[in-house]
Structure 1
Amino acid sequence: MWNKNRQWQTLEKLPATERGYTAASVIRNRLAEHAKWGTLTEDIINDLCGNDDAPKTTPTFLDYARLYLKQASVGKSTLREYAKSLDKYWIPPWYQREIHTITAKEVRTLIADIIWSSEKTRNNNLIPLRGVFEIALDDKVIETNPVEKIKNTKHQAPPPDPFSREDMEQLLTWLYKNKQDAPVYWLYFEIAFWTGMRTGELLALTWSDIDFDAGLIKVSKVMSDGEVVHQTKTAEYRDVFFNARSEDSLKRLKAIRSTVSDRLFMSPRFVNSPWQTDKTPRRALTEAMKATGIRHRATYTTRHTFITNCLTDGLNIYFVAKQTGHSVRTLETRYARWIDVSKARSEIAKLNTGKG
């Protein structure tokens, strides 16, 4: 159905065989998809159906920008960032342009003329731009992707800024003493500091994810924009093993668990209301940092602190990678300083300092 009418196409170039029927089904599904999202044009019909002699009415960049946003398989927050990027940088100069007329030279020139706040910002804004041209290429509306040979530039990410072990213990002690009426705050950060889990992973936890017999947490989902997404950041399931501190905290938390919700972290202010974002625990940590005089950091710093503590104590880097959902390469590059400290301690211990 298109424009409220049933559309029929004869695919004269396809043989009446099982293989031809399969190819026809693929073409039909692509046409139906475009019709569903309001991006179907005569040009797309002619290209997909092999009507080479039909007049061309190629869709615009804006048509494919809209289609890209409707098809993108990303979380809500990421989709919002992609929409902002397209609206700010890419749609204004090209929204009326037929997408097949945009050249690689034009793309390179526009990218070069924009004053980017950082190389990372530049690279991130190229992601939706590439996506727009990729689906146009898939539909054979364009012959080449003008962004294909434009590479990401190298950028130096700021090094992790973890809490020291003393600062961590001071913060946890303050939360324990000053949040007696709401122990969930202290327990949340005990578990965060001693598992290294991402904020979204912690907020999405349910009691069915906690296996006390096996001594581990099953991480398979995240909280994103107030909704549970059944996929982790790396799209990989992993097990996070207990240590003495995290196990004790989980048992304490279970003793005060909600009888209505299966979620671990419930609001102490609103009955049967699980935390949807880290806004509430973040306030508690900010209060603790101010009270103790510890320099302000984001709640995500609990993850950096766990990783650096593991590496400084000499835990196997492959185990740490599996525990945290990082790649070994990321640990070796971003956390090299703490790995070197561990190795240095191991090596200096070999030095014979006994008197002859």
Structure 2
Amino acid sequence: MGTTNVRLPRGVTLRKHRNDDTINITFTYKGVKCREPLSHLAVNPKNIKYAERLLGEIYNNIGRGAFNYADYFPKSSKLKIFGKTGNGSQIRHYLTEYLSICQTRNLSPSTIRGYKKCMEALRDLHEIRAAELTPALLKNWIKNQTTVLKTIRNQLSFLRSALDEAVIDGVIPVNPVSLVKASRYRSQRSEDSHYVVDPLSPDEVTALLRAAGNRQWENLFRFAINTGLRSSELCALAWKDIDFDKRKASVQNASVVGIIKTTKTRAGKRKVDLNDEALEALNQQKAFTYKKEAFVFEDPKTGQPWAGADAIRKKAWVPAIKKAGIRYRNPYQTRHTFATQHISQGANLFWLASQMGHKGPEMLFRHYGSYMEEYDGHTDKRVLRLVENPSKGAA
């Protein structure tokens, strides 16, 4: 039939082709003018009426916040703008989308790896549609996890950021993760019970340094044990950060997989006192890296700065530990060795907390409480009471 006499409702148009015409509907969604063809429909009054009703249904759903573009137009090029929120409205889609966003932001490789682990850990939620994820479902998921509270919080943080995209897309009005507090359903004690402080004894420290074999390894270990720096901070320490006159090291950065970034917290940026042993390690290290005017410690096999904690562990720490005949611990125990040595000597806990990059001594008490009890003859008992009961400090 001819189409010239067909009355077209508002928003419904015809596109002429060589052999036939196509019904198109036009509407505005999220400020974008959208024109979609109904190619499967012949041009006749009945189908034009259907197009008018379809357009009304779309506007009604848009008004209610229930419009899903992909459900109506799964092959539309507009999905590049609005996202494939048909199948894509599943949690998996938003996790993948957010991971892609993070990669474009040039976040550190270790952060990206951590996010990928979070995504895998959230696999039980992948097939749930974003609009169907409720606080009750999240609560049950938290209760079923076997990891520590800190890990669960990290995973939920990743999920929260991912679902912020669903809020932006209009798929959900409120991010359900923001309504759930993990600590309400998991005990903090479960995290503390997994935390192992296993410092080296004085004899083990001596054995480790003697077994290092490579002088640069020995300098690195000696400095770590006497300053409490994290491995990532050791990797980023530069000669310009050392003040030999004032016997101070300025800790501002950390190196993760070769990428230098600032410390995570304000307290992490700090001035660390250098004792005789730490200064001896630096003076011995000058012969290897001082003229390069860059980083203090390097991988002697490559002549390049250490890429990160894992590189130190694999290349230097593990061989030295084995050669020394010491029971294995990870390199982070040099930090615990530093802390427990000072506690045993009755160090001021507020000073020790500042040296380690903590906001206050509460963290020390949490991790080293048993050592404080063991050495309570040396440690200031009033400080211990302040740590246990901060509200009584005004006395």
Indicate whether the TM-score tops 0.5. Answer: yes
Partner of 2:376: 343
- Residue from 111, 127, 130 that aligns with 1:94: 127
In structure 2, how many angstroms separate the alpha carbons of the residues matched to 1:133 and 1:260? 47
For structure 1, which runs of at least 5 residues remain unmatched after alignment? 1-6, 11-45, 349-356
Contact 2:258 2:308 in 1 (8 A): yes
Partner of 1:103: 134
Partner of 1:35: none
The amino acid across from 1:56 in the alignment is F
Post-superposition shift, 1:196? 0.3
Residue 145, structure 1, aligned to residue 142, structure 2: no
Partner of 1:311: 343
Partner of 2:48: none
The amino acid across from 1:253 in the alignment is Q
- Residue from 200, 203, 206 that aligns with 1:169: 206
- Residue from 88, 93, 109 that aligns with 1:76: 109
Q: 1:338 to 1:293 in 2, by over 3 A?
A: same
For structure 2, which runs of at least 5 residues remain unmatched after alignment? 1-28, 33-58, 70-84, 382-395
295-304 or 85-94, which moves further after superposition? 85-94
Q: 1:336 to 1:134 in 2, by over 3 A?
A: farther
When normalised by structure 2's length, the TM-score is: 0.65
- Residue from 218, 222, 226 that aligns with 2:250: 218
- Residue from 311, 320, 324 that aligns with 1:292: 324
The amino acid across from 1:232 in the alignment is T
Post-superposition shift, 1:183? 1.2
In structure 2, how many angstroms separate the alpha carbons of the residues matched to 1:136 and 1:303? 42
In structure 2, how many angstroms separate the alpha carbons of the residues matched to 1:201 and 1:340? 30
Partner of 1:265: 297
Post-superposition shift, 1:207? 1.0
Contact 1:192 1:303 in 2 (8 A): yes
In structure 1, how many angstroms separate the alpha carbons of the residues matched to 2:249 and 2:380? 34
What SS does the corresponding residue of 2:260 show, helix, strand or coil? strand
The amino acid across from 1:126 in the alignment is L
Residue 184, structure 1, aligned to residue 216, structure 2: yes
What SS does the corresponding residue of 1:298 show, helix, strand or coil? coil
Post-superposition shift, 1:219? 0.9
What SS does the corresponding residue of 2:255 show, helix, strand or coil? strand
Residue 128, structure 1, aligned to residue 154, structure 2: no
Matches within 5 A, 1:241-252: 241-252=273-284
Q: 1:310 to 1:86 in 2, by over 3 A?
A: same
Partner of 1:31: none
What SS does the corresponding residue of 2:94 show, helix, strand or coil? helix
Contact 1:160 1:334 in 2 (8 A): yes
Partner of 1:233: 264
For 1:66-123, what per-residue CA distance to the aligned partner results, in whole angstroms no more than 9, with x for missing partners? Answer: 343345586432332222322452476336x2x23322223334444x5535555444
Q: 1:115 to 1:321 in 2, by over 3 A?
A: closer
Q: 1:292 to 1:194 in 2, by over 3 A?
A: same
Q: 1:104 to 1:225 in 2, by over 3 A?
A: same
The amino acid across from 2:263 in the alignment is T
Matches within 5 A, 1:105-120: 105-112=136-143, 114=144, 116-120=146-150
Contact 2:108 2:259 in 1 (8 A): no
For 1:211-242, what per-residue CA distance to the aligned partner results, in whole angstroms no more than 9, with x for missing partners? Answer: 2122211111111122112x113254211111
Contact 1:62 1:91 in 2 (8 A): no
Partner of 1:333: 366
What SS does the corresponding residue of 2:229 show, helix, strand or coil? coil
Residue 322, structure 1, aligned to residue 354, structure 2: yes
Q: 1:319 to 1:140 in 2, by over 3 A?
A: farther
What SS does the corresponding residue of 1:343 show, helix, strand or coil? coil
Contact 1:258 1:266 in 2 (8 A): no
Partner of 1:4: none
Post-superposition shift, 1:187? 0.3
**Alignment identity in percent?**
28
Partner of 1:57: 68
Partner of 1:275: 306
Post-superposition shift, 1:344? 2.6
Q: How many residues align?
A: 293
Partner of 1:204: 236
The amino acid across from 1:257 in the alignment is T
Bigger radius of gyration among the two: 2
Contact 1:69 1:83 in 2 (8 A): yes
Q: 1:83 to 1:280 in 2, by over 3 A?
A: closer
Bigger relative CO (Cα 8 Å, ≥ 6 apart): 1
The amino acid across from 2:354 in the alignment is K
